[in-house]
């Protein structure tokens, strides 16, 4: 295929809420509330990302509240502990971003494809990734919601890309006559093609087009001429 896939810089948010190493606990909570985010990059200097503080890091303090002193769980642990595993006692005692943060941070690059960013999020079970340059300086942030923006592509835009980069690429024969229709991201390829063995290849290429939800086929070989 000749198209260029969307990359992180196409969908990332460039205005990012971030904190310094010495940011106190309550300031972190307040910033998450004000910006409506679940995690914040932690910066060293003006822009180098050295960690990430998430809601999960902050909740450790709440889990250890039961016995009246952070750092000591009551016998048997709280229901949260038994269901989800114990929190980190060190984070329960933490009062600054440096003590709370996960480091080294999980990040992505602006030129990474959306598929690469999605795999990183899924593998590490995170909702957002700081976007950094080759020096580790913050450039933006990308969230799960940002990655889903490709599914807002116009149906006709998707259809035109498939005509240009799948149909024209695979079915060049004059005997081929393929129609492309897209409705709500579902691609329908119909008509006649000389080589039906290319259908699985067409399926793979069509599904790789960003914004495609599913691909359906109604393709057949050309009718034999009457003798």
Confidence tier at 64 by pLDDT (50, 70, 90): low
Statement: residue 84 has pLDDT above 60: no
CATH classification for the domain delimited by 8-149, as one of 3.30.390.30, 3.10.580.10, 3.40.190.150, 3.40.640.10: 3.10.580.10
> For 194, left (φ over 0), alpha (ψ -120 to 50), or beta?
alpha
For residue 90, the model assigns a pLDDT of: 74
For residue 177, the model assigns a pLDDT of: 83
Interacting residues of 218 by C-beta distance below 8 A, sequence separation 6+: 188, 189, 190, 191
Q: What integer is the mean pLDDT of 179-189? A: 95
Look up tokens 């933006």; give the residue: 140
Tens of pLDDT, residues 156-174: 999 999 999 999 999 886 6
Domain boundaries, the chain: 8-149, 153-220
Which helix (H) or strand (E) element contains residue 215?
Answer: strand 214-220
Regarding beta strands 128-132 and 108-109, do their DSSP bridges make them parallel or antiparallel, or are they unpaired? parallel
> Given this chain, do its domains 8-149 and 153-220 carry the same CATH topology?
no
Regarding beta strands 108-109 and 48-54, do their DSSP bridges make them parallel or antiparallel, or are they unpaired? unpaired
Class for the domain spanning 153-220: alpha beta
Task: State the average pLDDT for the chain.
Answer: 86
Which helix (H) or strand (E) element contains residue 132?
Answer: strand 128-132
pTM for this prediction: 0.70
Q: What integer is the mean pLDDT of 182-187? A: 95
To the nearest 10 degrees (0 to 180), the angle between helices 55-63 and 25-35 is 130
């Amino acid at each position: 295929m000749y198209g260029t896939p969307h990359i992180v810089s196409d969908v990332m948010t460039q205005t990012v809420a971030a904190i310094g190493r010495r940011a106190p606990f309550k300031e972190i909570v307040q910033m998450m509330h004000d910006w409506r985010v679940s995690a914040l990059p932690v910066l060293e200097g003006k822009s180098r990302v050295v960690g990430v503080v998430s809601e999960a890091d902050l909740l450790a303090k709440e889990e250890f509240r039961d016995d009246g002193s952070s750092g000591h769980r009551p016998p048997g642990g709280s229901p949260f502990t038994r269901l989800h595993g114990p929190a980190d006692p060190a984070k329960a005692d933490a009062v600054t971003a440096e003590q709370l943060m996960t480091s080294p941070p999980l990040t992505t690059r602006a030129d990474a494809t959306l598929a690469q960013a999605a795999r990183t999020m899924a593998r590490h079970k995170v909702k957002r990734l700081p976007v950094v340059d080759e020096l580790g300086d913050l450039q933006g942030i990308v969230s799960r919601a940002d990655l889903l923006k490709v599914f807002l592509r116009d149906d006709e835009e998707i259809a035109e890309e498939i005509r240009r980069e799948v149909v024209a690429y695979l079915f060049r024969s004059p005997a081929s006559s393929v129609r492309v229709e897209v409705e709500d991201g579902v691609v329908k390829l119909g008509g006649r093609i000389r080589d039906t063995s290319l259908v699985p290849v067409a399926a793979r290429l069509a599904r790789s087009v960003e914004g495609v939800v599913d691909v359906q086929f109604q393709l057949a070989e050309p009718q034999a001429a009457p003798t």
